[in-house]
Structure 1
Amino acid sequence: MELKICVLGSSRVGKTALCRALTEQPLADGDYQPTCAVRIQEWTRQLGQEHVKVQLWDVAGGSQFQNYWELMSKGVDGVLLLVDPSQPEQERQLEQLYLHFAQPNSLTMKQCLVLGLSVARGAEAAAPPIWAGLRGKLKKLPSGYVALDISAPDAGRKAAGDLLDKLLWGCLAQKKDMIERSVMGE
Structure 2
Amino acid sequence: MGILGSDVSNLQILDFSLRLFLIPFSVASVWIVVTNHQDNSTYGKLEFNNLIGLKYVVCISAVSAGYALFAAVSSWLRWLVTKAWLFFVTDQVLAYLMVTSMAAQGEFLYLAYNGDRVVSWSEACASYGNFCSRLKLALALNVISVCCFLVLGVISAYRVFRRFEPPYVPPTPKEAQQEMT
Same fold at TM > 0.5: no
From the two aligned structures, give the one with the greater helix fraction.
Answer: 2
- The TM-score normalised by the length of structure 1 is 0.29
Bigger radius of gyration among the two: 2
TM-score normalised per structure 2: 0.30
